[in-house]
Structure 1
Amino acid sequence: MKKIVVANNKGGVGKTTIASQITYSLAAKGHSVVAVDLDSQRNLTSSFENSPVIGDALAMVTDAKPFNADIEAGAINIVVGHKDLQAQNTDDVMVNVSNALANSKGADFCVIDTPPSFGEVVYGALLGADYLLVPIELKKYSLDGIETALEAFIAAQEVNGDLQLLGFLPSRFDAVKEVERNALAAVASEFEQVVIRHQIRNRVAYVVAQEDGVPLSEVKTKSGKEAQAEFGEFFDWLYGKVNGGA
């Protein structure tokens, strides 16, 4: 099972939207997928409220309880979030999350949404995962945020040598704003090797899909079609990466 963590130490960058659409896209490819919600806000859980529940993230954090999925091809199961996740700050949280993910099985892919921090829960996820994807907004402090995420990745990789950085994905990008175009150019120049050459734009369709808990293909508007094409190009790139492509 390939495990993809979607993380950033800042909220409002579209993590949950990206995690949910990756999950839908993997299922559309015929893969069995488990979505894991490690955020106390439980937005990913809301995105898949009609999917079978196979676990509770709080049990992963407090008891290192893995999930054992038995999923058909193309199906999605969910490990639901819990309101008390934010309060879990004990020393064994990181080890519990890592062990829970490492011992989980039964699906082709696991997509993990995380809280807006690089605390014990997120480090635990990184220690038990295969890939890290970092959505970023192109604002004034983007460069500082990238450096923080890189430091977290390097620290986790020292323990989990199999962890790979997929890269930094520009999210909620507004190409009309000069300040964001300039920020993208600066980030791409400074971090050329790790910035993904795709952008997720600031489109209404992403908000609709997230609120309705549906894949972009079900948003039947002009914005939906544009978002589906845009996200599809990014997903094709990601899919190649996680399947051994260049």
Structure 2
Amino acid sequence: MRAAPSTGHRGFMRKIIIANNKGGVGKTTIASQLVYALADKSHSVIGVDLDSQRNFTGSFEEATDLGNALELVMTDAPVEAELNAGDIGILSGHKDLLAQNSDDVLINVRNGLVESRGADFCVIDTPPSFSEVVYGALLGSDHLLVPIELKRFSLDGIERVLEAFIAAQEHNPGLELVGFLPSRFDAVKQVERDALVKVAEAFERLLVPHAIRNRTAYVQAQEAGSALSEFRTRSGKEATAEFGAFFDWFYAKINGEN
């Protein structure tokens, strides 16, 4: 049974930011599938693409066009939507986002996100940096999820992420670090299994107890602009079950149930 119609346009919209200053860790795939999973639970969802490469924007074949993120970044114009239960609206990325790096940008992004309305949730995809745009998004968000790859040079960035989180939390005490999510995990490789153990030991309370593996279906869903559930191949079924288990944990976590 689907949930009752969304009332996000009349109430509080929770904002989830997916961020890491390392590229290639699966941020966009995780962000887009979170949007689909929330919509599947009959939530209305706004997706915000703050990356000039616009890969997140291309992750949705059918979604309501809410304009582009450059206006939010340049003028602090909030996202205004009137989405119903299960609807998805996208604030598209823009090629000029990369060039925006002034202090005004940080304030604009923060204010624009805080004032945005029209859905139950807002999921924010970010570029691989802690630029003024990303810091502004951290200041305007409620939950931070950090995908990580279990490789040496990716793991080196975890402390940098924690520093950025602590700096943002000083000005946004309501920001919650949901956790570090192992992404593109290859369980066959001993080096990645060893790295997972090391991260679990060092960041026990911050490590998400799920992992997103390196499966073909994630790439296919990204390229097709659709949810994982659309792919009935073996990889698709495995990815759907895997991401579903993570999402159930994530949904309970942000709702204070675990």
Residue 36 of structure 1 corresponds to which residue in structure 2?
48
Secondary structure of 1:84 counterpart: helix
How far apart, CA to CA, are the structure 2 residues paired with 1:34 and 1:245? 24
Which of 12, 16, 21 aligns to 2:33? It is 21
The residue number in structure 2 matching 1:81 is: 93
Normalising by structure 1, report the TM-score: 0.98
The reply to whether residue 239 of structure 1 matches residue 230 of structure 2 is: no
Give the alignment partner of residue 146 of structure 2, picking from 116, 134, 153: 134
Q: Deviations over 1:152-189 (max 9, x none)?
A: 00000000010000000000000000000011111111
Structure 1 runs of 4+ with >2 Å offset: none
Structure 2 Cα separation of the partners of residues 55 and 37 of structure 1: 11
Alignment partner, residue 177 of structure 2: 165
For residues 46-195 of structure 1, the aligned pairs below 5 Å read 46-195=58-207
Identity %: 67
AA aligned to 2:214 is N
Return the offset for 1:89: 1.2
SS of alignment partner, residue 17 of structure 1:
helix
Structure 2 Cα separation of the partners of residues 225 and 112 of structure 1: 26
Shift of 1:142: 3.4
| Distance across 1 between alignment mates of 2:81 and 2:252 | 24
2:149 and 2:70 map into 1 onto residues whose CA distance is: 29
CA distance in structure 2 between the partners assigned to 1:158 and 1:235 by the alignment: 28
Q: Could you list the runs of 5+ residues in structure 1 that have no partner in the other structure? A: none
Structure 1 residue 141: deviation in Å? Answer: 2.2
Q: How many residues align?
A: 246
Paired letter, 1:152: A
Classify the secondary structure of the residue corresponding to 2:130: coil
* Secondary structure class of the residue paired with 2:199: helix
Query: Residues 198-245 of structure 1: CA distance to partner in whole angstroms, max 9, x if unpaired?
Result: 000000000000000110000110000000000000000011112221
CA distance in 1, matches of 2:241, 2:69: 32
Q: CA–CA distance in 1 between the matches of 2:32 and 2:155?
A: 26
- Is 1:216 the counterpart of 2:228? The answer is yes
Residue 12 of structure 1 corresponds to 24
Report how far residue 55 of structure 1 moved: 2.6
> Cα distance, 1:49 vs. partner?
4.2
- The answer for the alignment partner of 2:3 in structure 1 is none
TM-superposed deviation, 1:57:
0.4
Tell me, yes or no, if the aligned pair for 2:22 and 2:154 is still in contact at 8 Å: no
Amino acid at match of 1:208: Q
